[in-house]
């Protein structure tokens, strides 16, 4: 029998909230299954966030290509004694054949902007709500958190160390993928390395040192087996004596033509210990041996260490990043915005939606940096939108692209390096005031004149819809 640590592709249609299925059955019973458009967006920015990073799309598209209710899933639904044979027969033939328009992974986005829109028969689009929010919401949340460490690291290498404290096996994979997309150098997650081609990094645990009679013996035995993967953990006992032992090993390796890859500090006063460790290494002619730091790090602690001049060359970032500790949820929503070719609008308090199919239009200056976005109607062209920006932009680009149609993604699945490069290029051009980790400025986002007009007209119709 398979272990429970799994999610089979056949189970994905049931990775949903119960009411998605009961609504689908009610739609079916009433013959309500015309073309609909649902929009996914973030209602508000998490605390102290000036930007967000789109991620998770490729995993979603892969699931959509295989979306079907196989007999075993239908048998379970039948056992609930809630659904008619006719509805279950209908589900047996469901394949997602609609369109997905989305921001490519690695795109920087902001609150209220559609991250993706799905256009399909109502039942198909409704059944996808939970899956879409689960996959794109979590991945974007973690990518955004990882990017904050990148913003303050000053070019120092960052590595994902969070698998052991991620909230589940799949969440650990999402974190490895999302953090690499957002500029991390690699991960300790071996399965993430295999699946996504992410470079693997690792040192040793304190248990390895403690399993030997002496710390120096532990270092010697490790570098004998892995001379080119030799980052030595020096704080099992007295940290500075550990540095001295590591330095002795480094000098022996140098005599053999091999360079010690580094030392790792995992506890204590990282600022003071890194300074003293650097002096010890330099005094022994080991200025080329880098210092790697880990231990409850996040963007705030990294910023403090960098600002204080800690001679740390790389950081391992774990728990705080993989659970997005200071903002553990992204307030994402997936709402009906068009049905039967007519706009739809929700007006409940503090949760008003923008009606109609939409496009996000981004204005750039001559240096290629973005300075404002418009949320426009789907049919609005960049040329029309350009008239609404002040100052006049050098260029205007639509952000939502058609990425799925007729049951398949459009084009080949890109390697993870592609959205990573997209993000790094955009992030380098994003003004620092939006990347500040404490008090970021609000990036300008507003509806276009045409969308505003539609919003006003639809609000006037709401009374008639309520009856």
Residue 349: the pLDDT is: 83
With cut-offs at 50, 70 and 90, classify the pLDDT of residue 467. low
pLDDT, mean of residues 308-323: 98
CA 384 to chain centre: 32
Tokens of 341: 């070719």
Which pLDDT band, with edges at 50, 70 and 90, does 338 fall under?
Answer: very high
CA 68 to chain centre: 26
Q: What is the CATH number of the domain that holds 385?
A: 3.20.140.10
Give the phi and the psi of residue 22 in degrees, each rounded to 5. -70, -40
Assess if residue 409 is contained within a domain.
Answer: yes
Task: Decide if 241 is inside a domain.
Answer: no
Which of 239-243, 292-296, 384-388, 457-461 is least confident?
Answer: 457-461
**CA–CA separation, 129 and 133 (whole Å):** 6
pLDDT at residue 1 greater than cutoff 60: no
Quote the tokens at residue 243: 């540095």
Contact (CB, 8 A) for 144 and 322: no
Q: How confident is the model at residue 239 (pLDDT cuts 50, 70, 90)?
A: very high
Residue 85 lies in a domain: yes
**pLDDT value of residue 7:** 84
Write the Ramachandran bin of 148: left for phi over 0, alpha for psi from -120 to 50, otherwise beta: alpha
Residue 342 lies in a domain: yes
Is 204 among the domain residues? Answer: no
Residue 224: its H or E element: helix 215-225
Is residue 111 situated within a structural domain?
A: yes
pLDDT confidence of residue 3: 80
State the average pLDDT over residues 371-394: 96
Q: What is the pLDDT of residues 292-307, one digit of tens each?
A: 999 999 999 999 999 9
pLDDT at 13 over 90: yes
Give the residue numbers spanning the domain of 138: 9-142+327-466
* Average pLDDT value for residue range 135-141: 98
Mean residue pLDDT across the chain:
96
Q: Are 397 and 103 in contact (CB under 8 A)?
A: no
Mean pLDDT of 438-444: 98
Write out the E strands in 112-194.
Answer: 114-121, 157-160, 186-187
Counting the structural domains of the chain, the total is: 1
Looking at the domain assignment, is residue 411 inside a domain? yes
Cβ-contact 333, 43 below 8 angstroms: yes
Of the candidate ranges 95-99, 139-143, 170-174, 462-466, the one whose mean pLDDT is the lowest: 462-466
Question: In angstroms, rounded to a whole number, what is the distance separating the alpha carbons of residues 63 and 404?
Answer: 12
Query: 266, 65, 326, 55: which is closest to 176 by C-alpha?
Result: 55
pLDDT in tens, 102-111: 999 999 999 9
**By mean pLDDT, which of 226-230, 397-401, 418-422, 463-467 is the weakest?**
463-467
């Amino acid at each position: 029998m398979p272990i429970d640590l799994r999610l089979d592709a056949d189970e994905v249609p049931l990775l949903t909230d119960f009411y998605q299925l009961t609504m689908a059955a009610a739609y079916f019973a009433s013959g309500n299954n015309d073309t609909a458009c649902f929009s996914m967006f973030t209602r508000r920015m998490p605390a102290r966030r000036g930007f967000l990073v789109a991620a998770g799309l490729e995993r979603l598209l892969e699931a959509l290509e295989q979306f079907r209710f196989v007999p075993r899933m239908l048998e379970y639904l039948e056992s609930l004694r809630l659904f008619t044979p006719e509805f279950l027969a209908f589900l047996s033939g469901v394949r997602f054949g609609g369109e997905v328009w989305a921001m490519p992974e690695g795109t920087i986005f902001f609150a209220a902007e559609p991250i993706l829109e799905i256009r399909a028969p109502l039942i198909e689009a409704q059944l996808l709500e939970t899956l879409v929010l689960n996959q794109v919401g979590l991945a974007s949340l973690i990518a955004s958190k990882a990017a904050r460490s990148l913003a303050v690291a000053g070019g120092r290498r960052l590595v994902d160390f969070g698998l052991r404290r991620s909230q589940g096996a799949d969440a650990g994979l999402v974190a490895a993928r999302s953090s690499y997309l957002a500029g991390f150098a690699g991960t300790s997650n071996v399965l993430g390395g295999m699946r996504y081609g992410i470079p693997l990094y690792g040192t040793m645990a304190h248990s390895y040192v403690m399993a030997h009679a002496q710390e120096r013996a532990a270092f010697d035995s490790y570098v004998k087996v892995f001379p080119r993967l030799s980052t030595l953990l020096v704080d099992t006992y007295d940290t500075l004596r550990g540095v001295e032992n590591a330095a002795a090993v480094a000098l022996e390796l140098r005599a053999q033509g091999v360079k010690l890859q580094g030392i790792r500090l995992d506890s204590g006063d990282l600022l003071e210990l890194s300074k003293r460790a650097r002096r010890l290494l330099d005094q022994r002619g080991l200025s080329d041996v880098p210092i790697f730091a880990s231990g409850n790090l996040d963007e705030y602690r990294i910023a403090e260490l960098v600002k204080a001049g800690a001679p740390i060359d790389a950081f391992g970032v774990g728990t705080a990043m993989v659970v997005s500790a200071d903002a553990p949820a992204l307030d994402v929503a997936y709402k009906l915005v068009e049905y039967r070719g007519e706009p739809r609008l929700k007006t409940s308090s503090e949760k008003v939606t923008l009606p109609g199919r939409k496009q996000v239009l981004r204005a750039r200056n001559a240096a290629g940096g973005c300075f404002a976005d418009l949320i426009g109607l789907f049919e609005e062209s960049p040329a029309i939108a350009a008239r609404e920006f002040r100052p006049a932009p050098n260029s205007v680009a639509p952000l939502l692209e058609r990425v799925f149609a007729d049951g398949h993604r459009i084009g080949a699945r890109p390697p993870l390096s592609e959205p990573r490069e997209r993000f790094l290029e955009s992030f380098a051009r994003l003004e620092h005031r939006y990347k500040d980790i404490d008090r970021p400025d609000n990036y300008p986002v507003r509806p276009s004149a045409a969308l505003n007009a539609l919003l006003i007209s639809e609000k006037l119709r709401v009374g008639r819809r309520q009856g």
